[in-house]
Structure 1
Amino acid sequence: MSKNKELFVTAFALFSMFFGAGNLLLPPLLGYQTTNQWHWVTLGFMITAVVIPIFGILAHARLQGSMYDFGKKVSPLFSSVFCIIIYIISVTIPSPRTAAATHEISIFPNFGTSALLTSTIYFALVLLFVLNRSKILNFMGKFLTPLIVLILLAIISIGLYMPHETVYTLSVDTSPLITGLKEGYQTFDAIGAIVIGGVLIISLNLKGHDSFEEKKKLIAKSGWIAGFGLFIIYTGLIILGSYFRGELDIEATMSGDMKRATLLRGISLATLGNIGTAFLSVLVALACFTTAVGITTGVADYFKGLFKDSQEVYIITAIVACLIGILVGQLDFHYIIIVAVPVLKFVYPIGIVLIFLNVISQKLATPLAFRAVVLVTFIFGVLDMFAHFFPTNIFLKTLREVIPLGAIDFAWVLPSLLTFILVVAFQKSK
């Protein structure tokens, strides 16, 4: 395989592992709700759903290890606990969520079957792919991703060039930038980058790549290409949601997930006609499936590495992850998102600071900086999580209002940044 071909196959595979249920359903509704301010919500969404995840891939290119290497400068114990928590979250929330989305959008409207049947068949296929570990990268990059991208580009291109009614309605969202940042959280892509980056490295090793520098360049370039693809698709979907504001009526009584699905279905029907529903079903199923395969493979790879590269452990872990997917995948998509919110508020900040600390110069990101910044981020992440569970608590509410950005769930940002600056200054003074 030529270098250019391998680069694009790797980048496409990476794109497909990122692009799942939330990535497809979230952007159109953001554009629909922000209308004339779609550019602000796009900016916020890109920061948490594109920029930070791609930095995660760049960190993997530098480390070329596993998720364990992201946190080992804090301490080996911390890194091990962090890895286990992330992998448990991955197989209990984002992976089953892909099955729930596939059932609600692709399967049930067309066949009316039960969620149990859908999730069972879905994760049986996921297991089949995961057990054929060495072929995953090529199959996703050569076949599945091009099909996903072609359908998406067809919907976006036709939708953008169609004549649309001019909408003068002001945005119903008074802070679209913050909304975009928060919705980018819901894609799980920052955490996903830490998980699937390890999958990418092991896949390249299985293909015979031995040179550290060659892998570093390949992974970094693949990350930028995948990031550019995500940027184009997200922007297109957000603009489409804004453009169709005057043509598609989404009832206010609908829940969040029903609004997302109805809007996406309406856009597909308007752009591709009756065949648009079929294309949408295929698109959702493929986008969700590739993400579930990436997550399950990452989890199985990690536990395999813990037990001296035991293939038996890899198989057992993959089976357990798929069984959990079958059980949780029967739940309502919206319910899974609700459960995910407090978990994200606690875990996401730690994942983000670990990504940035592993990307910047290691002269600045010393073990002391890792420990101090992660500790401060942990404390404020816990504060945000407790504030979610106890929204009427006066003490928590007052405390969050005093902390800069605390009222919008980003209480950890400035304290973490300030801690990093103080540690760097302290180390230079010594």
Structure 2
Amino acid sequence: MNIQRKELLVTSFALFSLFFGAGNLLLPPLLGYNAGENWLWVTIGFMITAVVIPIIGILAHAKLQGTLFDFGKKVSPLFSSIYCILIYVISVAIPSPRTAAATHEIAIHPIFGTSPLLTSAIYFSLVLVFVLNRSKILNLIGKFLTPFIVIMLLLVIGIGLSSSGFTTGISNIETPIVSGILEGYQTFDAIGAVVVGAVIIISLNFKNMKVSAFDSKRRLIRKSGFIAGTGLFIIYAGLISVGAYYGSEIEVNSELSSDMQRASLLRGISIAALGTFGNTILSILISLACFTTAIGIVAGAADYFRGLFNKSQTVYFATAIIACIAGVGVGQLDFHSIIVIAYPVLLFIYPITIVLIILNVLPEHIATPFVFRVVVLVTFIFSLPDVIGFISPSNKLTDIMNYMPLAKHSLGWVLPALLTLVITSFVQSKPID
């Protein structure tokens, strides 16, 4: 079956929107602002963790066309089950409520002065309505919400760049590429890839999408991934460059928390580019970007637990309701507190997720179960010091790990994982008699 252009565009827009949430909008401008003249280098680093790896994750989904469980099953079914539960619990407990917190702090409270409880309650009630109308998610997001988000983003970036003085400040970032990579962690996009990719797969199986053959779905998902990735690249590069070029024109209070600095800068850029109307545009933009991401997270979690119980719709409904209630509860925290909680979790789960994504796109004769098990184990071992070091900065393990390349940048697991992949691939290719 030939892939219809309409289906391709709807899926691409939906995929973009499911990725693009609070962090994706707030992180790039301040990154560019701080990078100044080095904004291009931080852009490269940011793209690695916020675009390249997530899209590779979508390509892995196109290849597997299963659930998140399929990502880790070559390690072992038990490992994959634990990994899936951790991913969905983390997603429901941190990124999903973070979207509500960001919406409240930046878009709702400054205008209406409402409490976070009221905002979260209304927000997740609407999320629940969308998630329970499961078969319509792609169409609703892909046809209506995403085009509006993209148009507003391009408007802010285009007018912002054309009205800026194209003068950057001096960079206060020592290692631009590494800083970009680590900032890309905060988008949750690698985790988002394995979560929302599964949402896309299941959505394509519903009757309203005329794509059923394995090869047709694979082509559709791959093309959609590349289109969404291109869109993310353009938007991120635009937001980072706008932040850099407005660095000498907008004053950001250094005494504010980093998340409020991000919001303050983005608001300043919007007002500078679009006038007083820019504040309204920003509020709508953040609300929609956060909302679509929350829908993807809750739907992904509900889909997974539904699959564990013989595709029970009751389990799907129950999981969606529990996830939304959890979102209301955690959404009472401010955005900064959720970021602080998220960081050590990211240092632990992100390296494993990145490794699983890469292994799943490699050819079967290279990424065998043996390679999966050893590489994941090594990644786990070498990522633990980062978590321990964040919780307790002064410890012998961290001191020892600092001798590893990139360890000081929380990337000490990269070289061991890469070497393990090369060595295990070579060892298994040798016949054992």
1:77 aligned residue: 78
Aligned pairs for 1:22-421 (under 5 A) are 22-164=23-165, 166-167=167-168, 169-206=169-206, 207-393=209-395, 395-421=396-422
Deviation at 1:209, TM superposition (A): 2.6
In structure 2, C-alpha distance between the alignment counterparts of 1:100 and 1:12, rounded to whole Å: 24
Deviation at 1:338, TM superposition (A): 0.7
Report the more deviating stretch, 400-409 or 220-229. 400-409
Do the aligned residues in 1 keep the contact of 2:386 with 2:398 (CA within 8 Å)? no
In structure 2, C-alpha distance between the alignment counterparts of 1:389 and 1:125, rounded to whole Å: 36
Deviation at 1:251, TM superposition (A): 1.2
Do the aligned residues in 1 keep the contact of 2:45 with 2:177 (CA within 8 Å)? yes
Do the aligned residues in 2 keep the contact of 1:29 with 1:241 (CA within 8 Å)? yes
Instruction: Return the letter of the residue paired with 1:390.
Output: S
For the residue of structure 2 that corresponds to 1:247, the secondary structure is coil
Deviation at 1:208, TM superposition (A): 4.7
Deviation at 1:396, TM superposition (A): 2.3
Instruction: Return the letter of the residue paired with 1:275.
Output: F
Report the more deviating stretch, 155-164 or 332-341. 155-164
Instruction: Return the letter of the residue paired with 1:46.
Output: M
For the residue of structure 2 that corresponds to 1:402, the secondary structure is coil
In structure 1, C-alpha distance between the alignment counterparts of 2:397 and 2:193, rounded to whole Å: 32
In structure 2, C-alpha distance between the alignment counterparts of 1:14 and 1:214, rounded to whole Å: 17
In structure 1, C-alpha distance between the alignment counterparts of 2:223 and 2:132, rounded to whole Å: 28
In structure 1, C-alpha distance between the alignment counterparts of 2:115 and 2:272, rounded to whole Å: 28
In structure 2, C-alpha distance between the alignment counterparts of 1:347 and 1:300, rounded to whole Å: 20
2:423 aligned residue: 422
For the residue of structure 2 that corresponds to 1:245, the secondary structure is coil
For the residue of structure 1 that corresponds to 2:60, the secondary structure is helix
Instruction: Return the letter of the residue paired with 2:294.
Output: A
Do the aligned residues in 2 keep the contact of 1:165 with 1:247 (CA within 8 Å)? no
State yes or no: 1:5 paired with 2:40.
no
Q: Which runs of 5+ in 1 are unaligned?
A: none
Residues 210 and 387 (structure 1 numbering): CA distance in 2 closer, same or farther, change over 3 Å? same
Instruction: Return the letter of the residue paired with 1:289.
Output: F
Do the aligned residues in 2 keep the contact of 1:18 with 1:192 (CA within 8 Å)? yes
Do the aligned residues in 2 keep the contact of 1:166 with 1:246 (CA within 8 Å)? yes
The TM-score normalised by the length of structure 2 is 0.98
Task: State the number of aligned residues.
Answer: 428
CA deviation string 1:237-291 (max 9, x = no partner): 0000001111100111111011000000000001111111111110000000000
Instruction: Return the letter of the residue paired with 1:238.
Output: I
Residues 163 and 67 (structure 1 numbering): CA distance in 2 closer, same or farther, change over 3 Å? closer
In structure 1, C-alpha distance between the alignment counterparts of 2:129 and 2:383, rounded to whole Å: 37
For the residue of structure 2 that corresponds to 1:97, the secondary structure is helix
Do the aligned residues in 2 keep the contact of 1:96 with 1:328 (CA within 8 Å)? yes
In structure 1, C-alpha distance between the alignment counterparts of 2:340 and 2:178, rounded to whole Å: 18
In structure 2, C-alpha distance between the alignment counterparts of 1:267 and 1:170, rounded to whole Å: 19
In structure 2, C-alpha distance between the alignment counterparts of 1:9 and 1:102, rounded to whole Å: 25
Instruction: Return the letter of the residue paired with 1:92.
Output: A
Task: Could you list the structure 1 runs, at least 4 aligned residues long, displaced by more than 3 angstroms after superposition.
Answer: none
For the residue of structure 1 that corresponds to 2:402, the secondary structure is helix
Instruction: Return the letter of the residue paired with 2:192.
Output: G
Deviation at 1:166, TM superposition (A): 3.0
For the residue of structure 2 that corresponds to 1:102, the secondary structure is helix
In structure 1, C-alpha distance between the alignment counterparts of 2:115 and 2:398, rounded to whole Å: 42
Deviation at 1:176, TM superposition (A): 1.1
The TM-score normalised by the length of structure 1 is 0.98
CA deviation string 1:306-355 (max 9, x = no partner): 00010000000000000000000111101101110000000000000000
Q: Which runs of 5+ in 2 are unaligned?
A: none
For the residue of structure 1 that corresponds to 2:415, the secondary structure is helix
Do the aligned residues in 1 keep the contact of 2:164 with 2:246 (CA within 8 Å)? no
In structure 1, C-alpha distance between the alignment counterparts of 2:221 and 2:129, rounded to whole Å: 26
Deviation at 1:422, TM superposition (A): 0.7
For the residue of structure 2 that corresponds to 1:232, the secondary structure is helix
Instruction: Return the letter of the residue paired with 1:381.
Output: S
